[in-house]
Structure formats: C-alpha cells, structure tokens
Homo-oligomer: A and B are copies of this chain.
Amino acid sequence: MSVENGHVPTNKKKTQVTASPERRRELLDTAAEVFAAQGYNATTVRKIADAAGMLAGSLYYHFDSKESMLDEILSAFLNELWEGYDTVLAAGLGPRETIEALVTESFREIDRHRAAVAIYQKESRHLSAQPRFHYLSDSQVKFEKAWLGTLERGVAAKVFRADLDIRLTYRFVRDTVWVAASWYRPGGQHSPEEIARQYLSMVLDGIALRP
C-alpha cells in the first residue's frame, strides 16, 4: 500500500544526513519531548541540547535548523499515521467497522508518537500558514474527507444517527480522539486498544444508561 502524499522534509543545505540515522532519531525524540512539554516557540535550541547532553551549536551538525527538526518530527508522524489509515480505508469495511478501526489506529499512533501528536495539536494550526508546512493542511483535508465520508456512509446506511449535524459529529469524534494525546502517558493503566474500546463505546452508545 503506497502512501500517496508521503511527505519528505526538504533538506536544502549541506547537513550530513549520512551520519548514523539512529543518532538522528534519538535526537529527534528528545527534541519532540521538549517541544511537547514546553511548546515549540518556548523551546530554545539550548534546552534541546541540554536534554541531549550536548551544546546548542552541536545540534547543527545533525540538523539544518530548529524548524527542520520540527518538520521531521511531524512528517515522520504523519507518514506513519497515513500508512495505518490508508490500510484501514482500503480494507473495504463497513462504516461502523471503519470508524472503529480508525479510532483504534489513532490511539496506537498516540501511543507510539505521543510527543509528536501533542505538538501537532498545539502547533499545527499556525504552522500550516507557512509554505514549508502546507502538508499539514493537505493532511487535514485528506483526514476530513476520510472521516466525514465514513460518517456519511454510515448515516446513509442507517448505522449512525441522522438527526445530528454531520460536521459537528465529525469534530466531536475527531477531537475526542486526538486530545487524548494531551494526557495520555504510554505504559499507563490501559493499553491503546483498551482506551480505544472505551472511547468507541462512549462515542457510539453514549454514557447514559439505557433503560
């Protein structure tokens, strides 16, 4: 299954992408953690370097700029996310099963890329204004198409309620899932699958007890 819009961050200048990719990954993970905790703008390159046990200037051996670290973090996350989503969407499931699979896949992503997701939540809106981050908007559009489409199929198939504003429902489901990144801690009580199950139960059947 090929990822249609797999985004590869542009590496305009000289930087040794050659040098050990594991080190890059480590550094990016560190950076993501700090970005998520303090916000991208509030994070200084020095803080990242501190967390990585090196000096600020040394990061520039590995990366072009602070922005390109952010870029790589977000791209990597979105690429993985779409790999999962595309698989689900191509599987030809019914609307309810599709929603269930997407939600489960989402919580798995949150589990794997918590920091990236948190960053995405906080920064994506004002980043998408910059050309370099247009792919965020693209992803957003594709995302909306997938979810809205599935919901509409579901309404048509009388699987989902017809009396609700469909865009409101979309936002409801979407937000409901992704905000979880703001409090989720990997290795906690519940597995991503278990959380997904409970979320789905709430979203689909509500929290009120049926008579």
Which residues from chain A sit less than 8 Å from chain B, CB to CB? 14, 37-39, 41-42, 46, 96, 122-123, 125-126, 158-165, 168-169, 171-173, 175-176, 179-180, 182-183, 189-190, 195, 198-199, 201-209
A-side interface mostly: helix
State A164–B162 Cα separation when bound (angstroms): 26
Q: Which residues of chain B have C-beta atoms less than 8 A from A39's C-beta?
A: 39, 41, 122-123, 126
State A189–B165 Cα separation when bound (angstroms): 11
List of 10 A-B pairs having minimum Cβ-Cβ separation, nearest first = A206-B206, A41-B41, A205-B206, A175-B179, A204-B208, A41-B42, A204-B206, A161-B209, A160-B207, A168-B198
A202 touches B208 (CB 8 A): no
Q: Could you name 12 residue pairs across A and B whose Cβ atoms are closer than 8 Å? A: A122-B122, A125-B182, A161-B209, A162-B209, A164-B202, A165-B190, A165-B198, A169-B202, A171-B179, A171-B183, A172-B202, A206-B206
A159 touches B209 (CB 8 A): yes
